Structure 1
Amino acid sequence: MAHRASVVCVGSAILDTIALVDRLPGEDQRVEADQVVIAGGGNASTSAVAIARLGVDVEFSGIVGDDEAGATVLAQLEAEGVGTSLVERRAGVETSHSVVVVSRESGARAILTRPAVTPDRIPSGFDWVHVDKAGYRALAQGGRISSAVSLDDGNPVPGLDLNLIDLYVPTAIVLRERFPGQSAEDGAREALRLGTTTVVATDGAHGSFAATRDQLVHSPGLPITPLSTLGAGDVFHGALLAAIVLGKPLQEAIRFANVTAALSCRALDGRSGIPDRTEVEAALSDLP
């Protein structure tokens, strides 16, 4: 079955309740929130929103509940231009929800989440399939597919088979955890040896790097004072795929993704600060 979009993001769609506080509370402590917002979240679905905001057609595939939260999640995706024809609203399932506390002082956050339900299958007919932790479980059940596959390994995926992945996108921290005693760059080389084609690792404000069997390239982060880093990794994944679909070479693609993710940190939630392509292209001139 063919689709108008070249990318489908498979996995979690979540409703976030986010509180901004001066500092994160300790055990048995009470702090007052300066601001509380309810917004869409979830790894794969936020990546889809970033792709749509950047002007690339995208679908989201996942499972939400047949409840009010599920209706809200779908309405938010549709308002962003994300296709939702592959979303199942399942009776008896509660839509995933997270409670997020963000520190104004550092931009750090604490997250409590009810995990998303694993999708039943990976849709076919797309050039690219992007999966998060929930989406990977569906991928692993079916094995290798004909579409190119991108993986969000920011929240480490257990039982990972890199032979299923074309574009592997962990954090530098996850790379060092997966390959103890090695630098992030050496860990990337090991991931290539284990079967993936391209590794792109994010390292927060330090930027990112990309590794293939033929090259290793670095790109700095865009200097910014974040209000919140919630969703920045998900935005990076979406922007990276959008850049690839738009035909940008690898080093330009990671620069593009760095800037998009950095600009998204100016909002408390993980989506409302995501820039469009015009704003990203303008900000690229500020990146060394």
Structure 2
Amino acid sequence: MECAKAIMLTELGATQTLSDTPVETSGGPPVASGEVGQSGCQHEVPGSRVAFPARSTRYIRDPRRAGQAENGRRARGNGGEEPAATEKPGGIAARYRERSGLPRTKVDVVGLGLNATDTVLVVREFPALGGKERVALVSEQAGGQVATALVTCQRLGLRTRYIGKVGDDRAGRFQLTSLRREGVDVRYTRVVNRAFTQFGYIIVDQKTGERTVFWDRDARLAVRPSELAPEAIGSAKVVHLDGCDVEACLKLAGWARRSGLPVVADLDTVYKRVEKLFPHIDYLIASANFLPAVTGQDDPFRVLEYMAREYGVRAPGMTLGRDGALVLWQGRYVYSPGFVVETVDTTGAGDIFHGAFIYGLIADWEMGRTLDFSNAMAGLNCTALGARGGIATRAQAEALMRRGSRHVNPHYRTVASDKTQ
């Protein structure tokens, strides 16, 4: 998977000589000590322009510019760190904590699931089968469902811990470096000898922001239940899962339930025996296609009712692409339309949504506000390239919530209103 020593690409009309020497573009919050892309939910909103990723990105370019980039980062400084989500007295996280009797938190969120290193290729137009298209831009970025959700939480001021595996290759080192730089606790992340890190090749149509993904995951990266340690979640407020390694997710969710911790899940792939996980999930925000695939029902309202009735999911919900998100919460439907943004790349929108959702959950916001915030964060990420290219600040998301236009789906709004009355 090593990049070529020199590649000639045209970037918006300019010719560059590219190299395999990494240049990190960073900035943002201070760092503590130390996809999807390919498997995340699809949030498609039409758009046109290309923006460049802000962080967690390796541009493959002339190494002589690395020093200039580093000097620029030092001059800019760290920027403003997001204030941590403030719990209301008696809020949801506090209530779970009282029941659990666990020690004072050292991390807020523990996640078990996918990480990936994505190579993003931007083309002006996706070619027909058998056709050719010149690449306008290439970048290598860190991604993965749970890893990206945790980075979102970290950027918003929460403390996070990632449980997963990487290979002992360059892509694995890149992923670990990215997580450490963001401040994510990776003490329970294992490096697997002679394994290759999960990767994705993501082709982005510059005109629409639509992406097509080619990916693979080494079977040796699977997390086994025997490799988990209960102390990994002993200080958390929330546990986040993507269901990839089902048996490991079951074990972690069981520990969380017995400790009184809420379990959030981002499910969009029908893994074998994934239904065994449903009864252990409190907040299930699945992709639009996942729940119909596992229940055999197309109506989203009936699907959510089924998940609550048959599996006891406290808050079953689904993301709806540009139409936003729908959740069945405390016996009523909460529909939050998506925001209108100028889309560059939809990669990672679902991952960002879940990170923002967890932030709202810990802050004990109302469900409507939490969904609006999550949609705003997901939409803003679509305005830049890559799974983590456009992670916004809380202030930016709240500004979009106040002034942004919405993709209101009349059917969802009407039915949600009728069923709630």
TM-score normalised by length of structure 1? 0.93
Which residue is equivalent to 2:12?
A: none
Question: Of the two, which has the highest radius of gyration?
Answer: 2
Among 153, 156, 160, the residue aligned to 1:51 = 153
Q: Is the 8 A contact 1:52 1:81 kept in 2?
A: yes
- For 2:217 and 2:251, the matched residues in 1 are separated by 18
* 1:261-272 map, 5 Å: 261-272=378-389
- For 1:142 and 1:245, the matched residues in 2 are separated by 19
Which residue is equivalent to 2:34?
A: none
Q: Is the 8 A contact 1:50 1:238 kept in 2?
A: yes
Which residue is equivalent to 2:281?
A: 165
Among 110, 115, 124, the residue aligned to 2:233 = 124
CA shift for structure 1 position 237: 0.8
Which residue is equivalent to 2:32?
A: none
CA shift for structure 1 position 47: 0.6
Q: Is the 8 A contact 2:151 2:184 kept in 1?
A: yes
Which residue is equivalent to 2:169?
A: 67
Question: Structure 1 pair 135/127, CA: closer, same or farther in 2 (3 Å)?
Answer: farther
* 1:80-229 map, 5 Å: 80-115=182-217, 117-121=221-225, 122=228, 123-125=232-234, 126-140=236-250, 144-146=254-256, 147-159=261-273, 160-161=275-276, 162-193=278-309, 194-229=311-346
Q: Provide Cα deviations, 1:93-130, integer angstroms capped at 9, x if missing partner.
A: 21111111011122211111112622234533122111
Q: Is the 8 A contact 2:224 2:245 kept in 1?
A: no
- For 1:186 and 1:129, the matched residues in 2 are separated by 27
CA shift for structure 1 position 179: 2.7
Question: Structure 1 pair 157/149, CA: closer, same or farther in 2 (3 Å)?
Answer: farther
Q: How many equivalent pairs are there?
A: 288
Is 1:273 the counterpart of 2:390? The answer is: yes
Instruction: Look up the equivalent residue of 1:118 and give its one-letter code.
Output: A
Instruction: Look up the equivalent residue of 1:178 and give its one-letter code.
Output: V
Instruction: Look up the equivalent residue of 2:270 and give its one-letter code.
Output: P
CA shift for structure 1 position 158: 3.4
CA shift for structure 1 position 26: 3.2
Q: Is the 8 A contact 2:116 2:175 kept in 1?
A: yes
- For 1:124 and 1:233, the matched residues in 2 are separated by 24
Q: Provide Cα deviations, 1:167-193, integer angstroms capped at 9, x if missing partner.
A: 111122322223334411110110111
CA shift for structure 1 position 76: 0.7
Q: Is the 8 A contact 1:218 1:251 kept in 2?
A: yes
- For 1:256 and 1:157, the matched residues in 2 are separated by 29
Question: Structure 1 pair 61/97, CA: closer, same or farther in 2 (3 Å)?
Answer: same
Is 1:30 the counterpart of 2:144? The answer is: no
- For 1:40 and 1:152, the matched residues in 2 are separated by 18
* Runs of at least 5 residues in structure 1 that lack an aligned partner in the other structure: none
Q: Provide Cα deviations, 1:35-78, integer angstroms capped at 9, x if missing partner.
A: 11000011110111111111111111100112222111011112
* 1:2-41 map, 5 Å: 4-41=106-143
- For 2:369 and 2:222, the matched residues in 1 are separated by 33
Q: Is the 8 A contact 2:110 2:233 kept in 1?
A: no
Q: Secondary structure at the match of 1:44?
A: helix
Q: Is the 8 A contact 1:19 1:37 kept in 2?
A: yes
- For 1:111 and 1:86, the matched residues in 2 are separated by 28
Q: Is the 8 A contact 2:112 2:249 kept in 1?
A: no
- For 1:7 and 1:142, the matched residues in 2 are separated by 13
Instruction: Look up the equivalent residue of 1:158 and give its one-letter code.
Output: K
Q: Structure 1 stretch 230-239 or stretch 192-201: which is displaced more?
A: 192-201
Instruction: Look up the equivalent residue of 1:226 and give its one-letter code.
Output: T
Q: Secondary structure at the match of 1:268?
A: coil
Q: Is the 8 A contact 1:154 1:233 kept in 2?
A: no
Question: Structure 1 pair 263/86, CA: closer, same or farther in 2 (3 Å)?
Answer: same
Q: Structure 1 stretch 30-39 or stretch 104-113: which is displaced more?
A: 104-113
Instruction: Look up the equivalent residue of 1:180 and give its one-letter code.
Output: G
- For 1:171 and 1:107, the matched residues in 2 are separated by 19
Percent identity over paired residues:
25
Q: Secondary structure at the match of 2:334?
A: strand
Higher relative contact order, structure no. (Cα contacts within 8 Å, ≥ 6 residues apart): 2
Q: Is the 8 A contact 1:11 1:118 kept in 2?
A: no
Q: Is the 8 A contact 2:316 2:327 kept in 1?
A: yes
- For 2:367 and 2:158, the matched residues in 1 are separated by 17
